[in-house]
Amino acid sequence: MSNLNETLENLRGNYQGAKFDIEDCNPDPELQFDFWLQNALNAKCDEPNAFVLSTVTASGKPRARVLLLKGIHNGKFVFYTNYKSSKGDEMETNSRVALTFLWLPLQRQVRIEGVVTKLSIEASEEYFKKRPRGSQLGAIASPQSKKVASRAELERLFKEAAEKFEEATILPRPPHWGGYAVSPDYLEFWQGRANRMHDRICYEKTDAGWALFRLAP
């Protein structure tokens, strides 16, 4: 373990990102995010729509996991999951959440804080129909976040769902699965720079609109 700790202590990233200042920002944080996400797509970053969703349990325990962004609609960040999962329970108890995107090849990170709400049934139905059949069956079969005895049990549940709907052309969206939308009130755009003097430009929602400011790294 001492060798591993020494290795970790000596790991150093060489941040040489481009200059990023307030005058470089779009006044609309959604458009600024769109621009950076498109940069990540153009740079062929792995899973550019992946983000860490952070929630808090009813007892105050922080939780985090990686999900995939599936849209930005009217300034809201959209993703889909099982309503009965751990994160579903946590978002039901506390609607304040945080999203973190990391695009390492570009030395960029975006932090988003806001309030999460469920999408309409119609929107969830529409997206469910677009998913690959295997993903639809997985959503139907998996008791997400619940304890299971083995991998074999998961395979059995999937097989049962596949057999049940073998002749169905259109699979029904399970009522426990659907979309969420995060309405942001804070966004931080982080650009790696030399000597750990990183650029951190923030948007904070106020009654007058979005306020922009810089934070020290």
Catalytic residue positions, numbered: 196
159-167 contacts: CB < 8 A, separation 24 or more? Answer: 161/137, 162/137, 165/137, 165/140
d(CA 61, CA 144): 19
Residue located via tokens 């990686």: 66
If one counts every other C-beta atom within 10 angstroms of the C-beta of residue 74, the result is 8
Q: What is the largest CA-CA distance in the chain?
A: 61
Angle, CA of 129, 134 and 139, to the nearest 5° = 70
Angle, CA of 189, 85 and 50, to the nearest 5° = 30
- Helix (H) / strand (E) element for 10: namely helix 2-10
Nearest C-alpha neighbor of 108 from the set 212, 205, 20: 20
- Helix (H) / strand (E) element for 2: namely helix 2-10
Q: 32 and 26 in contact (C-beta within 8 Å)?
A: yes
